[in-house]
Structure 1
Amino acid sequence: MKWEDFQSSENIEDRRGQQQVASGGRRVGAGGLGFGTIIILGLIGYFTGINPAVLIGGAEMVNNMRRGSQEANEQSAPASKPGAPNDQLGQFVSKVLGENEAVWSQVLPAQKNIRFQAPTLVMFDGQTYSECGAARAAMGPFYCPIDRKIYLDTAFFRDLKTKFGGGGDFAYAYVISHEMGHHIENLLGILPQVQRAQARASSRSEANALSVGVELMADCLAGVWAANGNARRQFLEKGDVERAIATAQAIGDDRLQRASQGVVVPDSFTHGSSAQRVEWLERGLQSGKIDSCNAFSAR
């Protein structure tokens, strides 16, 4: 993936290497030392036994954002370094975010007549706070619709490559663009609708199905970004799409459940199967159209 010529985004909060102090005087920071058991929010509890860092997504934040703001208020805001970071990884994240901003600034008004408003991306290590609750490395990247920020511990990229068979620049760009997809869903008004529908759901499996729809749509929107961005800049290289597809396969609910517990329980899926995640990423890549990404009507 040729990303070096992308315009860097200034919508970055770099909290890496920062120690944060909660109101009770407890230190939080890299590695989350001193906290004991990590609290996994919402539906991710179905994946007991799996390192949740493998789960790309933000639906769990949608399910918990009402109660999350209380936890966020208990922590003091950490210092951060605004603007594009200078290190190579920080530059990569900033430039991929910047290319997302450039593409969506054109595509969202053109296709849906909605003005694009850029989110902020928070880079952290170990733990930080969000308006949706504590952001922990073990949760993986996520989008908080309350503060409209994407939270990313970049150690996730290393884990994706070394532990789960994903990796490569375009695969990492897919991770970031998936979270941007949740922001696009928010601008479209979809995330609030899903939250209300989940509150009315008659069963956990029904609520889970809505979460799957949110995640598959974000996969598709990541593909829409790539299709339109590549039409502008021809940044994709041989093997990029294949590596992104391998990453989507690696974080399918069925593969993760089979690896951790030896059995697959479709009713407990919150992100979609490997086949579904690949299907929806490819759908966005092939169409370049937001309207092709309605994963709810297809269910």
Structure 2
Amino acid sequence: MKLRGVRRSSNIEDRRRSGFRGGGTAGIGGVGLLVVLAIGYFTGIDVTPLLEGAGQTQQQSAPRELTAAEQRAADFSAGVLGTTEEVWGAIFPEQLGLEYNPPVLVLFAGQTASPCGNASGATGPFYCPADEKAYLDTEFFATLSQQLGAGGDFAAAYVIAHEVAHHVQNELGILGEVNQARHAASQTEANGLTVRLELQADCLSGVWASNVQGLLEPGDLKEALNAARKIGDDYLQKRAGRVPNPHTFTHGTSDQRERWFATGYKSGQVEACDTFGARDL
């Protein structure tokens, strides 16, 4: 992805210099794997089962300087966030007749707090509608590449774009509607609603990718599609040594995530991302 010369967003809150870091993280495997790779959002959904066995503790230490790698991650994240602001800032008035208010991206290391609950690197990137901020432990980029085999800068950009897509859903009132519907539904039905929400975010990420003018390089689209596949519920459950159980899916299968991202990319239109009206996901 060509980010040289791209405007860096100022909506970055970097907490990585603070004296609090997570400790005792569970190894990658079993429940720990599902926790680390659960790219999602917090809107009052009970995530206790996901956190079981994560073994996170909070440790205080002296404030520290960022490493060169952490500085690069911050610069990359600010660049990608800047592209989302440009794209959605144009799409909202053109396609929706609305004004776009961008989110803040919080960068943290190990552990942090949010109005939606405490979070660690093990919970993966998430969006909190209570403060309209997306949260990212930049170490997740390494997890995505080294442990999942979803390398490449555009795969990492897709992760940020996905969380921004949840903010788009919040701006449109979709998150609140789904959260209300979840509370009135059975667990299986609630999971199904969450799957549709996540697939819509994947589709909206594709819309962003379609509208990133002149920044894509050969292989970028393939990297994003591969990343979408590697965080499918069925893939993650198999990797954790489980038999995939569709009733427990909350993000969609690998095929579904890849297909909906591609749908958004091919159309470039928000209206193409109506996963709630789709009969076949």
Report the TM-score when normalising by structure 2: 0.87
User: Given the superposition, is the C-alpha separation of residues 49 and 154 from structure 1 closer, same or farther in structure 2, using an over 3 Å criterion?
Assistant: closer
User: CA offset at residue 15 of structure 1?
Assistant: 0.2
AA matched with 2:239 = A
Q: Which residue pairs with 2:206 in the alignment?
A: 223
Select the structure that is richer in helix.
Answer: 1
User: What SS is found at the alignment partner of 1:109?
Assistant: helix
1:265 lines up with 2:256 in the alignment: no
Q: Which residue pairs with 1:63 in the alignment?
A: 45
| Percent of aligned pairs with the same amino acid | 46
What is the CA deviation profile of residues 229-254 of structure 1, one whole-angstrom value per residue up to 9, with x for unaligned ones?
Answer: 23xxx111111111111111111000
Q: Is the 8 A contact 1:216 1:277 kept in 2?
A: yes
User: What SS is found at the alignment partner of 2:122?
Assistant: helix
Q: Which residue pairs with 1:287 in the alignment?
A: 267
1:153 lines up with 2:137 in the alignment: yes
* Counterparts of 2:177 and 2:147, CA distance in 1: 35
User: CA offset at residue 262 of structure 1?
Assistant: 3.1
User: CA offset at residue 228 of structure 1?
Assistant: 1.1
User: CA offset at residue 49 of structure 1?
Assistant: 5.0
1:118 lines up with 2:77 in the alignment: no
Which of these residues, 134, 140, 146, is aligned with residue 162 of structure 1?
146
Q: Which residue pairs with 1:297 in the alignment?
A: 277
Q: Is the 8 A contact 2:34 2:237 kept in 1?
A: no
Alignment of 1:1-299 (within 5 A): 1-19=1-19, 29-32=20-23, 48-58=31-41, 60-64=42-46, 87-201=71-185, 203-230=186-213, 234-299=214-279
Q: Which residue pairs with 1:73 in the alignment?
A: none
- Runs of 4+ aligned residues of structure 1 deviating over 6 Å after TM superposition are none
AA matched with 2:151 = G
User: What SS is found at the alignment partner of 1:258?
Assistant: helix
Q: Is the 8 A contact 1:49 1:261 kept in 2?
A: no
Unmatched segments (≥5 aa) in structure 2: 48-62, 64-69
User: CA offset at residue 196 of structure 1?
Assistant: 0.4
Unmatched segments (≥5 aa) in structure 1: 20-28, 38-46, 66-78, 80-85
User: CA offset at residue 56 of structure 1?
Assistant: 1.7
What is the CA deviation profile of residues 2-47 of structure 1, one whole-angstrom value per residue up to 9, with x for unaligned ones?
Answer: 112210110010000312xxxxxxxxx22335xx98xxxxxxxxx8
AA matched with 1:101 = E
User: CA offset at residue 51 of structure 1?
Assistant: 4.2
* Counterparts of 1:244 and 1:172, CA distance in 2: 8
AA matched with 1:171 = A
User: CA offset at residue 136 of structure 1?
Assistant: 1.1
* Counterparts of 1:98 and 1:266, CA distance in 2: 36
Q: Is the 8 A contact 1:220 1:284 kept in 2?
A: yes
Q: Is the 8 A contact 1:143 1:151 kept in 2?
A: yes
User: CA offset at residue 113 of structure 1?
Assistant: 1.2
Q: Is the 8 A contact 1:124 1:152 kept in 2?
A: yes
* Counterparts of 1:178 and 1:50, CA distance in 2: 20
User: How many residues align structurally?
Assistant: 258
* Counterparts of 2:23 and 2:275, CA distance in 1: 35
* Counterparts of 2:196 and 2:239, CA distance in 1: 23
User: What SS is found at the alignment partner of 1:50?
Assistant: helix
Q: Which residue pairs with 2:67 in the alignment?
A: none
* Counterparts of 1:270 and 1:218, CA distance in 2: 13
Q: Is the 8 A contact 1:168 1:243 kept in 2?
A: yes
Q: Is the 8 A contact 2:33 2:240 kept in 1?
A: yes
* Counterparts of 1:4 and 1:220, CA distance in 2: 26
